[in-house]
Amino acid sequence: MKTVAFTGGGTLGHLYPALAVIEALKIEKPSTRIIYISTPKEVEILSNHPDIDAVYQVELQGFKRKPSFENIQLIFKLINTIKRVKKILKKEKVDLVVGMGGYLSGAVVFASHRVRVPSLIHEQNACLGMANRFSMRYAKRTMMSFPILLNTKKVIFTGHPRKDEIESKYHKKESNDHKILITSGSGGAQVVNDVAIQFLKDNRSLKYNVTLVTGIKYYKEVLDNLEGDYDHFQVVPFIKDLPRAMNEVDLVITRAGATTIFEILGLKKPAIYIPSPNVVGNHQEKNASYLRDYQLGEVILEKELTKEILFETIENIFNDVTYQERIEKNMEKFIKTNAQAKIVEEIKKWW
């Protein structure tokens, strides 16, 4: 029996692709023992997952971008974390580590190198995150979601496993009701909500059926700003099953996080991406740039986002009778992968 340690967290954008790979690995090799080394944020989800045999919680924070006393403290915490992870890997007799990104992933991959356990890493975005840039020197393979950085034998294109999972779970739904879902990530975003409010108050939005997901923090504020007799939209603080909600609409307006992008590609839905400029390495704008270059979606930069530009972009999509067909063909051409199977095959090479 082989034991594989997965790691990666801090956000669901690292966790969901990891779970998609674990599910595929368990189907292919049911006897595999799976352990997950996680931050406290993911423990509840992981502890109840049927395919995970053991969960180890590790306390670790990412470093600040600017020099600070807190970073000095974090160095000592990092050293202790690496020591603890080395003990976990030895205790569990781990055969392979799979890092899915996030600050903890870098520490676990380094620890695995120190105890001579091979590791693989997966990058969800169109550029390497800080943890994966560090981990790359120790990992046997770097697996990319986007077909980029393939100029070295250690880097391969696998695609994003969440896309495969979504494709197999949901059957594409179509309607002519001009249904729109507006969301800006689990926490919401003030800028997107403000423009959405202006959009919904404008009489031109009456021909659309809109669901606005505000984020819990902004829910009451948005409701207060939308008082009146409106029946063409609904406002909710969050949606538990976002892929299902996206599958019910004709157009998604969202941030450009990798997992959301590949969920949309799996559903083959038109989308308008508003990348957040407030993320490490500006990776959302790089993701969005790739999508725009290969005509996989529309992009509005946050600094250019206005009610008028939003209206114009939406109307261009709905008024173009060939838009849906064109974008589906582009999705099939550029993002047609079997990521779950490819990653599982790569795992089997190294244990």
Which DSSP string do the residues of 162-200 spell out, in sequence order?
A: HHHHHHHH------SS-EEEEE--TT--HHHHHHHHHHH
User: Where in the chain is CATH 3.40.50.2000?
Assistant: 3-159+337-350, 168-334
Identity of residue 97:
V
Is pLDDT above 90 for 24? Answer: yes
Is pLDDT above 80 for 60? Answer: no
Q: To which H or E segment does residue 344 belong?
A: helix 339-350
Total Cβ atoms within 10 A of residue 289: 18
Encoded tokens for 314: 């939406």
| Domain spanning 3-159+337-350: CATH 3.40.50.2000 | yes
Q: Quick check: helix, strand or coil at residue 213?
A: strand
The CATH number that domain 168-334 falls under is 3.40.50.2000
Total Cβ atoms within 10 A of residue 220: 11
How confident is the model at residue 138, as a pLDDT? 97
- pLDDT band of residue 7 (cuts 50, 70, 90) is very high
Q: Which residues of 146-156 are buried (b: 16+ CB within 10 A; e: fewer)?
A: bbbbeeeeebb
**Average pLDDT of 90-107?**
95
How confident is the model at residue 167, as a pLDDT? 86
